[in-house]
């Protein structure tokens, strides 16, 4: 069994094959959000705080934190946002940046064991990111592409993932601390993308024995009713072996799909997580209490 433990100063979240699925909230990201980007650049993090609280309330188990704003001081902003979010919640964080200096700044202030997002199979990037991951005792997301780009062949993406896991081991990072992103492609552009992703996820679990994550909404890019496609994909991906995803917990289809899949996979004992989420509250004045069956009168 492979368990990946991430934590804040006081709370742990565990990714694992027999564990409930982990939703990593995606909303703290200025990409495509002009107002948020402008606010973050000016040091106004009120919307960041609101997004953090809303995602946790909606059901996120972790939060992805990204500060990728053109012409901004990303290391400073990322560090400040991490400190802010950790001051209002004990939810563990995924530190998300392609800038090495920003990753280091975030790791320096982070309290707990972070998930670093991410490292690719490019030799230069592995040589820069993996020592940071080891130094700060973090876990890392491994993206299944390298110098040749993103292969359309899932077997090539598997080989890239394997290379990253093996190189991480050279730095003393165990496979349980490498969470592989198989790179989910838009099914509207590549009709076999869903099938390929599911096959690759299964191989990553059974052969490489690593936990997995992805940007779940990539699968539906360009399609109408994206949330419906995302929900269907997540349910099937969980069955194939996926253990987490970066997604929007504000979308009910994401919550329904992941909690429902946990029930079907036997990872929600007595369906308590499902019941807690969806059970209707007792009517006002109901003295029978929740969960009690109404009494039946005997016929005379």
pLDDT digits (tens, 9 = 90+) for 195-236: 999 999 999 999 999 999 999 999 999 999 999 999 999 999
Cα(186)–Cα(218) distance, rounded to whole angstroms? 6
DSSP string, 209-235: --EE--BGGGGGTT-SSHHHHHHHHHH
Strands annotated E in 137-256: 139-143, 178-181, 211-212, 244-247
* Res 172: pLDDT: 98
Given this model, what pLDDT does residue 280 score?
82
The whole-model pTM stands at 0.93
CA 219 to chain centre: 15
Axis-axis angle for helices 46-58, 74-88 (nearest 10): 50
Tally the C-alpha atoms within 13 A of residue 16's C-alpha that lie toward its C-beta.
Answer: 12
pLDDT computed for residue 298 by the predictor: 47
Alpha carbons within 13 angstroms on the beta-carbon side of residue 194 total 17
Q: Which residues pair with 6 in a beta bridge?
A: 13
Residue 1 has a pLDDT of 72
Which residue matches tokens 């495509």?
A: 32
Closest CA to 213 of 222, 221, 205: 205
pLDDT on residue 235: 98
Q: Is 7:112 a contact under the CB 8 Å cutoff?
A: yes
According to DSSP, residue 92 is labeled -
Domain spans of the chain, in order of start:
3-278
Low-confidence ranges of the chain (pLDDT < 70): 282-283, 285-300
- State the Cα–Cα distance between residues 283 and 80, nearest whole angstrom: 45
Does the domain at 3-278 match CATH 3.20.20.20? Answer given as yes
pLDDT score at 282: 67
Q: Quick one: tokens of 191? A: 């009709």
């Amino acid at each position: 069994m492979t368990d990946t433990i991430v934590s804040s100063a006081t709370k742990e979240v565990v990714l694992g094959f027999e564990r409930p699925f982990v939703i990593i909230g995606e909303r703290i990201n200025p990409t495509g959000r002009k107002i948020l980007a402008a606010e973050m650049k000016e040091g106004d993090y009120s919307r960041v705080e609101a997004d953090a609280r809303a995602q946790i309330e909606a059901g996120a188990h972790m939060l992805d934190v990204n500060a990728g704003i053109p012409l901004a001081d990303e290391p400073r902003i990322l560090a400040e946002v991490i400190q802010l979010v950790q001051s209002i919640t004990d939810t563990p964080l995924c530190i998300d940046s392609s800038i090495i200096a920003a990753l280091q700044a975030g790791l320096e202030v982070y309290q707990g064991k972070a998930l670093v997002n991410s490292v690719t199979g490019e030799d230069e990037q592995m040589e820069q990111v993996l020592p940071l991951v080891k130094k700060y005792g973090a876990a890392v997301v491994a993206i299944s592409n390298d110098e040749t780009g993103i292969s359309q062949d899932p077997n090539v993406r598997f080989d890239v993932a394997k290379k990253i896991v093996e190189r991480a081991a050279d730095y003393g990072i165990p496979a349980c601390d490498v969470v592989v992103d198989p790179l989910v492609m838009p099914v509207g552009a590549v009709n076999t993308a869903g099938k390929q992703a599911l096959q690759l996820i299964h191989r990553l679990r059974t052969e490489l024995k690593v936990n997995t994550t992805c940007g779940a909404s990539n699968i539906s890019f360009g399609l109408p009713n994206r949330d419906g496609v995302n929900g269907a994909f997540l349910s099937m991906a969980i069955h194939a072996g996926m253990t987490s995803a970066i997604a929007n917990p504000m979308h009910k289809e994401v919550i329904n799909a992941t909690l429902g899949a946990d029930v079907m996979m036997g990872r929600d004992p007595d369906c308590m997580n499902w019941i807690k989420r969806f059970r209707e509250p007792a009517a006002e004045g109901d003295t029978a209490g929740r969960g009690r069956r109404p009494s039946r009168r005997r016929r005379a």
